[in-house]
Each structure stands twice: as C-alpha cells, then as structure tokens.
Structure 1
Amino acid sequence: MDLPTAFAAAVPLIGWTTHGAWLSKRLATARRDPLTGLHTRDGFTARAHRLTQRRPGRTSVLLIDLDDFKATNDTYGHAAGDAVITATADRLSAWCGRTGIAARLGGDEFAAIVLDAPARLPGLRATLNQPVPYAGSMLPASASVGICPIAELPVVSLTDALRSADRDMYAHKRDGRTTRRR
C-alpha cells in the first residue's frame, strides 16, 4: 500500500475513533448526577444488576429519602437544599466505600447497593441524621432509610429489592423512627 492510500484509509479511522471516544464520554457523563456526581438511575441499575448476581447472599439494596426536604428548601432556599443533597450524597458515598454503589435517583431520593449492610446500617442512619454546615450555620438534616437484603427475596430481582426497600423506608417514615421531630 502506498503512502497516499494508507493516509486516506487512516483519516476515517481516526475520525471514528475520536467520535467513539466522545460518545463514550458523553454516555458516562449522562450516567452521573451533575449536582452530586453520584450515579443516576441508569448508571446505578447497570452496576447493581452485576453486584446482585455476583454476591446475592451478602448484598442489600437501600432506598434513602430526605425527611422534610421541602421545608428545608422553603425555609433556607434552594442553595441550602443543594447543600443538604450534596452532603447526603457525600455521606452515602463514603458509607458505601468500595463495597457498594451509591446513586441519586432524583430530587431528594437516593439508593445504594452494598455488601454486608445490615450490620452497618445504624452507622448510616446516624451519619445521615447529622446537621449540614451551610453559610456559617447548621441546617437540620435527617433521612429515612429502607433496606432489602437480596437473600430474603424468593428470586434475585433488583426491581423487587427496590420495591421492598421502598416499603421498608416508608414504614420507618410512618412510625417516626428516623424522621425529625419539630
């Protein structure tokens, strides 16, 4: 092959390679929440399926919902609400560590899938219920957490685990164990 033919063949290859890299980066960006940097629902789902299949006996799915978040936004403003969401994301991500995946599903709702969660759950609840520093003051913060150990399901299913964790989370909200008292 002569040089002009080789060059002519290389130009489209370079273009497609560059385009593929650009698309890959865009897809990765779309799977991350811009405020928190956590996975979005799509990014979480793909990774959660793999973890539930690899270690179903040790894996748990959690749903987390901030308590009285609308009141925080209404009282302190949206920037303060963003500070609470960001702090919650950081705390959840740190708690998950290398044994799990944290995600922001939308608004003030988060999810996680982790190994060996039941023994560590009291620490997460305590962490999420700490005030958040903002503009020289401390914002009240609390969250309701629901959990579903995958091993308790008759069939390993992320959808069923999320549904079960959701029921557990709302049971905690109703009985007031994790909600802030006024």
Structure 2
Amino acid sequence: MDLAPILAAGLPLLGWTTHGTYLARRLATARRDPLTGLLTRDGFTTRAERLIRSHPDRTTVLLVDLDDFKAVNDTHGHAAGDTVLKATADRLTAWCGSSGLAARLGGDEFAVVALDSADRIPQLHTALRRPIDLDGLVLDVSASVGASHPAALLLTEALSAADRDMYAHKPGSRSSRRG
C-alpha cells in the first residue's frame, strides 16, 4: 500500500490543526490579563454586550478605580501594587459569582457587568475596603465604584454613566464634597 497520498493529505491537515490550536490559545491568552486572570477590555466587551442584550432589565454595569493606588506602588513597591491588583480581582470575581463578568481595563481600573446585583453594591464596597496582608504588612485599600443600569443602553454608554457616577463618589472630587 502506498502511503504517500495519505501523508500528502494528512500532514498539511495536521499542520493547520496544530496552527489553529496555537492561535486559539494565543487569542484566549490575549483576552485575559496575565497578572489578575481577569478578562481584558477586548475579552470583556463582547461578553458584556451579550449579557446586557440578554438581560437588559437585570444588568448592572460597574466601574471600579482603586483610590491612591500610585501611593501603594511608590511607598511599598510594585510587588505590593501587584498584590493589591490581584486581591481586587479576586474580590470582584467573588462578588460577581457565576452571574457576572469582571475585567481589568488597565492600570488600576476594573469593570464589572453583573445580573441582579444592584442591592449588593454595598457589600462590594465593604469587600474592596478590607485591608490586604502583604507578608505581615497591612495595606489599607479602598476603591471608588460607579454604577449604571443600562436597560437598553450600549455598553459604552453604560460604562460612561458608571464613570460619571464613580467620579461623583471618588474621595476628593468636587461633587463628593458637596454631600
């Protein structure tokens, strides 16, 4: 039996399969933040838009920004900053549970889309304020959280509304001093 025709057809197929698998893994990796394991902006956007479209009346979009994060890096080093980012990611993931998505948009900014969660936002504030233990050094942390209830809005509009809400509550902002 002559195997040449089978090998001639099989080897390119094997090569394309291997290449396709490699590219799929690279794409999946690109959609996850390597430090926190959360989705990146690209990985988050498609899934968040789908969740909003599927459940517009039950969806809450949150934007989370760590307060004075630069001071953590400047005072305690980047390893401490990385620990704070990882702890924040873990807390957001736990708060979302299986009905939401969390992403690291960049730096110390995170986004969340979750179902039936508006009444649980105070618990998120509490979780994000818990001190972080770094080898015996206790780091006091806090985060500003802005919320939006998109209903029929686009994700970009919901994130903009959450951003405005977050800055209204951020320590030191002009609007937070009014109340």
Quick check: TM above 0.5?
yes
**Which ranges in structure 1 are unaligned for 5 or more consecutive residues?**
177-182
Partner of 1:136: 136
TM-aligned CA deviation for residue 3 of structure 1: 3.2
Residue 121 of structure 2 aligns to a residue whose secondary structure is helix
Report how far residue 85 of structure 1 moved: 0.7
| 1:79-118 equivalent positions in 2, closer than 5 A | 79-118=79-118
The aligned counterpart of 2:28 is: 28
Structure 2 counterpart of 1:4, one-letter code: A
Give the distance between the partners of 1:120 and 1:58, measured in 2 at CA.
13
Matching residue's letter, 1:68: D
Question: Which residue, 151, 154, 166 being the options, matches 1:157?
Answer: 154
Q: 2:168 aligns with which of 154, 167, 171?
A: 171
> Deviation per CA, 1:35-89, whole angstroms, max 9, x where unpaired?
1010000000011011011111101110000001111111111111111111001
1:180 equivalent in structure 2? none
CA contact (8 A) 1:100 1:114 kept: yes
**Does the Cα contact within 8 Å between 1:53 and 1:156 map onto a contact in 2?**
no
What CA distance in whole angstroms lies between the structure 2 residues aligned with 1:3 and 1:71?
67
Calculate the TM-score normalised by the size of structure 1: 0.92
Shift of 1:4: 2.0
Aligned twin of 1:52:
52
Percentage identity across aligned positions? 63
Matched residues in 1 for 2:145 and 2:162: separation?
8
1:117, CA displacement in angstroms? 1.7
Q: Structure 2: which 5+ residue stretches go unaligned?
A: none
Check if 1:8 corresponds to 2:5.
Answer: no
